Amino acid sequence: MAEHWNKHDMDFLGGRRLRRSRRTEWSRAMVRETVLTPADLIWPLFVIEGQNEKTQIKSMPGVERLSVDLCVEAARAARDAGIPALALFPNTPDHLRSENAAEAYNPDNLMCRALSAIKSAVPDIGLIADVALDEYSSDGQDGLVRDGEILNDETITVMARSAIVQAKAGADIVAPSDMMDGRVGAIRAVLDGEGFDQVQIMSYAAKYASCFYGPFREAVGSGSRLRGDKRTYQMDFANSDEALREIAADIEEGADSIMVKPGLPYLDIVRRAKDNFNVPIYAYQVSGEYAMIEFAAAAGALDRTRAIHESLHAFKRAGANGVLTYFALEVARELGR
């Protein structure tokens, strides 16, 4: 009976056997639809004061905060591995944080010194500077605060000043990550007015109010001082159409590329952005996503290497042009081999 079925009843497939192309590794490689390369990866670095200084981040095993000189070494390693760009995030010393976040536009702040040092030593790697106030404010919010309210327009003024000092220090891309209304247009106008018309803007256009940012806030020193939450400016994770409106607004204001953050829980947003907008789209595999893979692998729940590669391919498959990931250097070296 089985032999009779094999010979005749497979006719309903029209001769198609989809497993044929999956039978061998060489055949799977031939028909593979999504390819990951080092050029798809952006490596986030956390910067601290000091010389030859590194500190562990408890909730992100394997990720360290690095002093500026060690960031330069990391940039050389990234360049040699084929990574095109770094994204920098400073952990500003407590005594320099304030209610008005004035350190954000100090031309000698930690971010600017890191940008300048890396650009001088490794000029052929791209530098992405985070533009937000949580790394400089005493309350951990991305905007200025008055009587418990996050101020939109006043925040933009400070962010624009911050973007200028970053551009002067060597930033190739400024990345506003705050979700204030109108900040992309304001930053574009100020950059152009100061002669930095070639500096790109990578907008965190669809940034959700997410629990997956916890380890990042520890890394930049804003988590313990955060008062309240960020739901009045970061997006509601229940919404999808709203993300398209945010992205459209930022593109109209002059964004060169846009970002969706977090990553894996929001692949539907990446796909919708890809289908609707003709601009480069990036996704951020955020600290909580990194931590989940690391802690699950440490517990023996999954294969670490396979989980990393599967997750990164998911971003590319969804339509992302690139991924900000803390796994960048490790993966780029693996791909290079």
- Catalytic annotation present for 261: yes
Contacts of 144 (CB under 8 A, 6+ apart): 99, 100, 101, 133, 137, 150, 151, 154, 155, 158
According to DSSP, the residues that pair with 207 across neighbouring strands are 261
Cα gap 317→294, rounded to integer Å: 22
Bond prior to 44 in cis (omega within 30° of 0)? no
- Catalytic annotation present for 274: no
Query: Of the residues 119, 230, 261, 316, which is catalytic?
Result: 261
Residue 89's Cβ-side half-sphere holds a number of Cα atoms within 13 Å equal to 22
According to DSSP, the residues that pair with 206 across neighbouring strands are 260
Map residue 93 onto helix, strand or coil: coil
Residue 206: name the closest of 284, 316, 278, 279 by CA. Answer: 284
219: which 2 tokens?
Answer: 């890394």
If 0-12 CB within 10 Å is exposed, 13-18 middle and 19+ buried, where does residue 211 land? exposed
Query: Of the residues 119, 207, 230, 316, which is catalytic?
Result: 207
Catalytic positions: 207, 261
